[in-house]
């Protein structure tokens, strides 16, 4: 599972429609769904499916380590926003006290990460969330998602938000809804295909057709 981005420029992927390359030449037509949670879920997070796991906050994440996570996880979902940021801008974000990057390790190996951003005193956004390719399909997604939800609601917030779009894992939207998020808005955006602009290799995300 992978996802990222919110607001027009972020790359959070998800699936509530089919990705289309029918927009302007070189662009992908993407449906973005915004979701929210206005109360902490009553049930606890599911137990971890694998032994020898550790969820640890990077305090703060270094630029090089963050790029390793972001680029490795995001390539298959066409994440590009943070690739477009220079190191200085990214370092400012990672060192912002409102940002929390939490890395899931399995047997000492990074298996995925989640990124929370405190948009206001009452609102926390799940800005990024995804698993490393080798760990997809091992039932780690629900555990990591619920862990991020618990971390967000450990603060006295009133609302948690997340976006997902049609570039994400096909089960992303359903996972968010099962966890308690409710869709409240949807929009269509046109995204330049990063495989045609040079941000990503043309072989990235082979399941998504290249924009014409």
Domain boundaries, the chain: 2-197
CA angle 30/189/35 to nearest 5° reads 75
How many other CB atoms are found less than 10 A from the CB of residue 84?
12
pLDDT in tens, 33-78: 999 999 999 887 788 877 789 999 999 999 999 999 999 999 999 9
Q: Flag whether pLDDT at 19 surpasses 50.
A: no
Residue with tokens 């269509």: 188
Show the beta-strand stretches assigned E in 95-177.
Answer: 99-106, 109-118, 123-131, 159-165
The pLDDT of residue 5 is: 41
pLDDT band at residue 6 under the 50/70/90 scheme: very low
pLDDT in tens, 169-178: 999 999 999 9
pLDDT in tens, 112-162: 999 999 999 999 999 999 999 999 999 999 999 999 999 999 999 999 999
Return the CATH fold of 2-197.
Answer: Aminopeptidase (3.40.630)
Phi, psi of 209 (to 5 degrees): -60, 140
The pLDDT of residue 132 is: 98
pTM greater than the 0.85 cutoff: yes
């Amino acid at each position: 599972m992978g996802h990222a981005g919110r607001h027009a420029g972020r790359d959070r992927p998800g699936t509530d429609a089919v990705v289309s390359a029918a927009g302007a030449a070189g662009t992908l037509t993407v449906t973005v769904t915004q979701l929210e949670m206005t109360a902490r879920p009553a049930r606890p997070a599911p137990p971890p499916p694998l032994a020898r796991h550790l969820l640890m906050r990077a305090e703060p994440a270094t630029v090089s380590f963050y790029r390793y996570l972001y680029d490795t996880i995001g390539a298959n979902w066409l994440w590009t926003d943070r690739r477009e940021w220079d190191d200085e801008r990214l370092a400012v974000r990672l060192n912002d006290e409102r940002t929390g990057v939490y890395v899931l390790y399995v047997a000492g190996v990074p298996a995925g990460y989640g990124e929370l951003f405190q948009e206001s005193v009452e609102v926390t956004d799940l800005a990024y969330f995804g698993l490393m390719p080798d760990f997809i399909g091992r039932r780690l997604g629900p555990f990591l998602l619920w862990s991020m939800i618990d971390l967000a609601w450990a603060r006295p917030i009133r609302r948690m938000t997340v976006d997902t779009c049609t570039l994400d894992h096909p089960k992303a939207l359903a996972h968010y809804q099962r966890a308690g998020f409710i869709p409240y808005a949807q929009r269509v955006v046109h995204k330049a295909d990063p495989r045609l602009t040079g941000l990503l290799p043309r072989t990235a995300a082979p399941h998504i057709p290249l924009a014409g």
